Structure 1
Amino acid sequence: MDEEGIRKRSSNQEPDETPITKSKSMKLQKEVGLLSGIGLIVGTVIGSGIFVSPKAVLANVGAVGPCLVIWAACGVLATLVTITLVNALSVKWASYIQNFFAVAKMVIVIIIIVSGIVLLAQGNTKNFNNSFDGPPLSVGTISLAFYNGLWAYSGWNQLNYITEELKNPNRNLPLCIGIGIPLVTVCYVLINISYFTVMTSTELLQSPAVAVTYGDRVLYPASWIVPLFVAFSAIGSANGTCFTASRLPYVAGREGHVLKVLSYINIKRLTPVPAIIFYGAVAMLYIIPGDINTLINYFSFTVWIFYGLTVLGLIVMRFTRKDLERPIRVPLIIPILVLFVSIVLVLAPIITAPELPYLYCVLFIISGLVFYVLFIHFKFSWAQKISKPITMHLQMLLEVVPPEDVPE
């Protein structure tokens, strides 16, 4: 079936599918409003990190005071198969699910914060005495602490990926970030304070799951709600990340930086199905290590390389492409600061505690250049013979076409 045949099939819509009419076009639709945008940020950022990372942050800095400072600083800096299926089927359903889990995870966040405030009011403050007394700090240990803290904040930037689907993005994008990130930062600092009302630094470091230990001590016999809502939190974060991050390969395919098929859109659902499936496959590769701390450290190392390159590009373009329209303009000092932070976070762990897996991360990144050179840049004939039949079969299987206006 060729592209024309696939388009003709779009006239036979099932009742529950999105009809393609003259008012619809074969492109992503603006379905995300202000509240959904805030819910997307809060729901994506608050995942499993805040219930796992406190142990790793404390392990690196060694004292309560620096630990709380790291959590606040991470917030300032920030200012998988079922999930894939839902995002491939409907933008609206993915948004509804995201909003539900955002509310669900806020329930457990509020429970932990309120119970912590009650404990503080009852005089449980002994763990905050001499809170900055601990082992000497180094740039390397601070960087690793930030790795784990920023893991819990990951998702702070992902609303940027769906500006095509965000209603009134010039207004709602900065507003969503300005409301969502401070809200998460306050919650994270208060949650960590709550943890320290019932656990000493040593006890927190010995806990296999900090939030569960807290629940066992404070919420018994209703402590079972903690792992339940932690699961809700992780699912919501995975859904939000799948919804937003899958738009990266979609746009890269549209701009010709990767295979074009990744930019194709399902004719019935108007979702970037190939890009979502690609993202889901890559996410599965990431969980192969199994150990959460290993995953956090090497993911953070990799992602901050790209954060640094991104803001470097912004800085360069501020001087070389002055004529570009910039609906949302930030002071130059902000990308410069983020570039400096990214350099420190990438180089400090390598210099202070070099490990071979960091080299594996770099090789994994460079391996992408191999595919780019063979299939995109030089377009070798034998590479095209491989990619063309794959594209054709994916079009027929997934019922996708290139993003374009539907003909009258």
Structure 2
Amino acid sequence: MKPEEDGKKEETGEEVVHLRREIGLLSAVSFIIGTVVGSGIFIAPKGVLMNSGSVGLSLLVWALCGVLSLFGALCYAELGTSFTKSGGHYTYLLETLGPLPAFLRLWVEFLFIRPAVASYVSLAFGRYVVEPFFEPCAAPTALIKLVSILGVTFVVAVNCWSVTMASRTQVTLTFIKMFALVLIIIPGVIALAKGKTENFQNGFEIETLTLDKLPLAFYNGLYAYGGWFYLNFVTEEVINPNRTIPLAIICSMVTVTVFYVLVNVAYYTMMTPAELLRSDAVAVTFANRALQGLSSVIPILVALSCLGALNGGFFGSPRMLFVGAREGHWPPIFSMIHIRRQHLYLLCCSCTPWWC
């Protein structure tokens, strides 16, 4: 292994080992969609409806959350084409506000943000894998944690193997989670076309709206859209980033917004607002109602969706630490790249115990 400086040749003429540009448009789109679409769309509708107060307003909140997320993602597209280094948040703080804010952001990411996110998503994966086998009883917590650890181990192994393997895994998991959303949308659209519109009558009930709860509705909705910034963590590995990053962000966020709104329309077509509010896992309740023969498949698809979000997060976040090590804000050994695989093998392995 040897340190990576700037991806160019040194003054001595010796070529520096650097990360290869292997992420094309399809991989970039899959990376964004696969990270954004996790467990949120399958559980967050309850929080949005509870705090918005009506079906119509909740759908409007979902659409506006998509628009707000698109605006944020477009800002990051501009940053990603202006600063062509990987690292995302860290790099932009370093370039605009200086080393101290960037240093603090790097360590907060490592100590608090990334472990919390990884734990939450991996536990959601374990819960959706295990709970169907124990219904109607509660699943053993130890077994859920064990399956969660196995999921993290799989993601780590894939990311340690190569960028290509991690990218292909992300593309596959993204197609699976989009299939899960289509599986929810189609029965709802068919029922809606047949005239099942009773849950949409009087969709905007102003008397049930409480303004102090509306921010919580947006909070729940925006949670389901989180993750659009991860592509900027791997800018140095994107092929033709000036074209790929903006195009991937626009395609991804528009697709996610349309799918999210249609999924919620499907939920309201097959479930009353009261039924949705009583459900802790809206997608599973929907499947029991509309996909009776395939109801057991939905938890598996949701689990794979969580695994895709975990893979996307684990693929992107070590690049922030890699750039931090290169800038002297992290132990320099973590700026080293595997000579043969040209991959952050050491960094991926070292982060795993802490993030688990």
| TM-score between both structures, scaled by the size of structure 2 | 0.70
- Structure 1 runs of 4+ aligned residues shifted over 6 Å read none
For the residues of structure 2 that align with 1:150 and 1:260, how far apart are their CA atoms?
A: 36
Quick check: 1:128 aligned with 2:200? yes
Quick check: 1:32 aligned with 2:23? yes
Q: Which amino acid aligns with 1:225?
A: V
For the residues of structure 2 that align with 1:279 and 1:45, how far apart are their CA atoms?
A: 22
Q: Which amino acid aligns with 2:341?
A: R
CA 1:274/1:146 → structure 2, altered by over 3 Å: closer, same or farther?
farther
For the residues of structure 2 that align with 1:266 and 1:75, how far apart are their CA atoms?
A: 39
Which residue of the partner structure matches residue 45 of structure 1? 36
CA 1:219/1:273 → structure 2, altered by over 3 Å: closer, same or farther?
same
For the residues of structure 2 that align with 1:142 and 1:269, how far apart are their CA atoms?
A: 49
2:44 aligned counterpart, secondary structure:
helix
Which residue of the partner structure matches residue 359 of structure 1? none
Which residue of the partner structure matches residue 186 of structure 2? 114
Aligned with 1:86 (options 158, 164, 167)? 158
Which residue of the partner structure matches residue 137 of structure 1? 210
Any conservation in 2 of the 1:263–1:274 contact (CA below 8 Å)? no
For the residues of structure 2 that align with 1:88 and 1:75, how far apart are their CA atoms?
A: 33
Q: Which whole-Å deviations, capped at 9, do the CAs of 1:99-119 have from their partners, x for residues lacking one?
A: 111111111111111111101
Aligned with 1:174 (options 246, 266, 286)? 246
Q: Which amino acid aligns with 1:159?
A: L
Alignment of 1:371-386 (within 5 A): none
Which residue of the partner structure matches residue 54 of structure 2? 63
Q: Which amino acid aligns with 1:59?
A: M
Largest Rg, 1 or 2: 1
Which residue of the partner structure matches residue 288 of structure 2? 216
Which residue of the partner structure matches residue 333 of structure 2? 261
Alignment of 1:7-406 (within 5 A): 25-79=16-70, 80-133=152-205, 135-139=208-212, 141-277=213-349, 279-281=351-353, 283-284=355-356
Shift of 1:273: 3.1
Shift of 1:202: 1.4
For the residues of structure 2 that align with 1:187 and 1:23, how far apart are their CA atoms?
A: 49
Q: Which amino acid aligns with 2:224?
A: A
Shift of 1:278: 5.4
For the residues of structure 2 that align with 1:187 and 1:94, how far apart are their CA atoms?
A: 25
Shift of 1:150: 1.6
Unaligned runs of 5+ in 1: 7-21, 285-408
Shift of 1:224: 1.3
Shift of 1:242: 1.1
Greater CA drift, 177-186 or 151-160: 151-160
Q: Which whole-Å deviations, capped at 9, do the CAs of 1:60-91 have from their partners, x for residues lacking one?
A: 22221221112111111111332122112210
Q: Comparing both chains, which one has the higher relative contact order based on Cα–Cα distances under 8 Å and sequence gaps of 6 or more?
A: 2
Q: Which amino acid aligns with 1:135?
A: T
For the residues of structure 1 that align with 2:44 and 2:323, how far apart are their CA atoms?
A: 32
Shift of 1:282: 5.1
Q: Which whole-Å deviations, capped at 9, do the CAs of 1:154-197 have from their partners, x for residues lacking one?
A: 11111111110000000010000011110010000000010001
Count of aligned pairs: 265
Any conservation in 2 of the 1:33–1:167 contact (CA below 8 Å)? yes
Which residue of the partner structure matches residue 369 of structure 1? none
For the residues of structure 2 that align with 1:262 and 1:145, how far apart are their CA atoms?
A: 40
Any conservation in 1 of the 2:54–2:209 contact (CA below 8 Å)? no
Any conservation in 2 of the 1:86–1:93 contact (CA below 8 Å)? yes
1:130 aligned counterpart, secondary structure:
coil
For the residues of structure 2 that align with 1:157 and 1:77, how far apart are their CA atoms?
A: 13
Any conservation in 2 of the 1:48–1:152 contact (CA below 8 Å)? yes
Shift of 1:23: 11
Shift of 1:146: 2.1
Unaligned runs of 5+ in 2: 4-12, 71-151
Q: Which amino acid aligns with 2:182?
A: I
Which residue of the partner structure matches residue 15 of structure 1? none
For the residues of structure 2 that align with 1:178 and 1:96, how far apart are their CA atoms?
A: 21
Identity of matched residues, %: 43
